[in-house]
Chain A
């Protein structure tokens, strides 16, 4: 699904990621952990094609993203869904439209436009919302929802997009512990039920250990460890977070 070989990314002279190499198979659930500034978000952006590596190869679904035409890149991107830390929804749209944005790479322009006036595929949007537990919010304005509810809308949008892999960039860092657990449960469950690959960056190690099969430890742009969850020791965790 995702193959990275000796990937580095610099912002100016600052190296955000250095010499990253790993493979993620279809259906795997991987958490990448590390302190703020470790390069987790940069890594996610390399995987969804909103950023290209400075050196090295990034392959998604077998294709090198930096060598694709814009058209082909969009094809690949439509098969990878992303959930963000700050939800990235359009505030003043109704929930149903934010959900239908997940259809955009399938719908024609006319259909997209008509749907903004008279929502289409309401049933699909409702089903997706039902799966994340807030079906009654279908026609609510998005900025009227709480943070936890907005994150569920963002996940439901990915459900509608129906990608083969889901990237989640610190999906719970703006939520309280209770909600965090629910959101992680939804993501993991989604991956288990549908066999979708899940690649999730997390600040908190506890959620990673209990929910993901494989953990990658990132610190200052380098991989410190990449191992099965049961083999992760306190020593390894300390090495990632030490001051």
Chain B
């Protein structure tokens, strides 16, 4: 198991640079806030030739997000994963950039919450919001990278994960507010840890 290393306590110097690069590349990414999602636990296991990732995420829906959901507004989250190759001079090279995209919507007729995995189109229906969020919170054995052969043994690799709330998928009138209202800052920060070979 690989313990998560929060970005702020990382002790190697490149992390600061990496953090800067990531923040620069993603200006509207996560914002440490009371409503931000949080990656509580994550682990990468080597299963044969594959790296499988499992993680637990905590979503904290704000009052406004909840209200919007109850009024039929679909909410979208992207759980983003990146594998970065650390380089001394240049910025880190992104080897893998993939995501799981969830859509959460309330159905008034059946009084249920529907979660749809936008990747494969699977739909899950839940009678409670808690159950719906529980599905989205759990990542189990997500296949990250092809195999050991893709990783050079002499290089250092980083694994980055982030839960990104897609504000651009909100209905148009809500978007300007979503960019200025803290209640809509539901994304998590990037969480980084080294990938052990």
Q: Report whether chain A binds chain B.
A: no
